[in-house]
Amino acid sequence: MNLIYEGKAKKIYTTDREDVYLQEFKDDATAFNGVKKDKISHKGEINNFISSEIFKYLKENSIPNHFIEKVSDTEMLIKKVEIIKVEVVCRNIAAGSLVKKLGFKEGEELENPIIEFYLKSDELGDPLFTEEHIYALKLADKHDIGIIRKMTNYINTLLKKFFLQRGIKLVDFKLEFGKDKHGNILLADEISPDTCRFWDSLTNKKLDKDRFRFDLGEVEESYQEIKNRLS
Ligand code: TMP
């Protein structure tokens, strides 16, 4: 096994199968583009579990994705894809940068989900950009973005239902997509409290990485709470 990529929260290794990678979840947490750094105990294990459950559920509901199987507490096997350097954010309730940058009121329910694109670039700080920028930078073409929008809307419908059944409001989330060797677009990366905003549906208590970002306390407990509700 060779380490081929190390990100802020995960490592990716090659395996003895050409089309298969091993994805390992780390306890490391960063926020504000790496400005704030720490470890969240057991996060790797918790996020591997949560992401595995969600990708399994999405696969059962016809969303093509990179997940193959969970192979240890912190590792899963995934299909090899070339990541499209676009982070896709989908929002149902105003929070985070919608409040900070655009003046929405936190907690305001959006009439329709908002899909946004961010350039996946640590050096440039992941700026918000438009479809035209995606085409000009040749990160994806119109056909790809059409598929990505459709998949994102359907994933949102599926996940909103999935979480609501578990007493959780899906406020917003970030997705990444990749292409396999045949050119098929697959949902990739992870879906976890690191990449979503989850609020308790009765109390609106934040159960996600905002607890780490803004020093709200009970960080590990909140990740564990999401895991428990999926168990
Ligand atoms: P934002 O409101 O800070 O723009 O975040 C929107 C959603 O995207 C939220 O669920 C957290 C997630 N996200 C990531 O997964 N990675 C990131 O680097 C950022 C900024 C947000």
Report pLDDT for 53.
98
Going by alpha carbons, the residue nearest to atom 20 of ligand 1 is 32
What's the Cα-to-Cα distance from 185 to each of 22, 63, 70, 84, 192, rounded to whole Å?
19, 10, 21, 9, 21
Of 70, 65, 71, 49, which is closest to residue 158 (Cα–Cα)?
Answer: 65
Which two tokens mark 20? 């298969």
Report pLDDT for 1.
86
Going by alpha carbons, the residue nearest to atom 2 of ligand 1 is 96
Q: What is the pLDDT of residues 71-80, one digit of tens each?
A: 999 999 999 9
DSSP 214: T
Q: Report residue 98's pLDDT band, with 50, 70 and 90 as the boundaries.
A: very high
Report pLDDT for 122.
93
How far apart (Å, rounded) are the C-alpha atoms in residues 209 and 211?
5
Ligand 1: residues with CB < 6 A are 89, 96-97, 126, 172-174, 195-197
- pTM of the full predicted structure? 0.98
Closest atom, ligand 1, to C-alpha of 96: 2
Residue 61 Cα to ligand 1 midpoint, Å, equals 25
Report pLDDT for 144.
98
Looking at 69-193, list the stretches that DSSP marks H as alpha helix, in order from N- to C-terminal side.
Answer: 97-102, 131-136, 142-164
Q: What is the pLDDT of residues 148-182, one digit of tens each?
A: 999 999 999 999 999 999 999 999 999 999 999 99
The answer to whether residues 58 and 97 touch, using CB atoms and an 8 Å cutoff, is no
Residue 17 Cα to ligand 1 midpoint, Å, equals 33
The strand pairing partners of 62, in sequence order, are none
118-122 CB contacts, 8 Å cutoff, 24+ apart: 118/86, 118/87, 118/88, 118/89, 118/174, 119/85, 119/86, 119/87, 120/83, 120/85, 120/86, 120/87, 120/176, 121/85, 122/33, 122/34
Residue 145 has pLDDT above 90, yes or no: yes
Q: What is the pLDDT of residues 6-16, one digit of tens each?
A: 999 999 999 99
Q: What is the pLDDT of residues 183-216, one digit of tens each?
A: 999 999 999 999 999 999 999 999 999 999 999 9
CB-CB neighbours of 65 under 10 Å: 24
Q: What is the pLDDT of residues 52-75, one digit of tens each?
A: 999 999 999 999 999 999 999 999
Report pLDDT for 50.
98
Q: Which of 89, 93, 222 to mutate to test the pocket of ligand 1 (most atoms within 8 A of CB)?
A: 89
Give the residue-averaged pLDDT of 18-37: 97
Instruction: Strand 20-25: give its sheet, edge to edge.
Output: 3-6, 10-14, 20-25, 75-79, 67-70
Report pLDDT for 40.
98
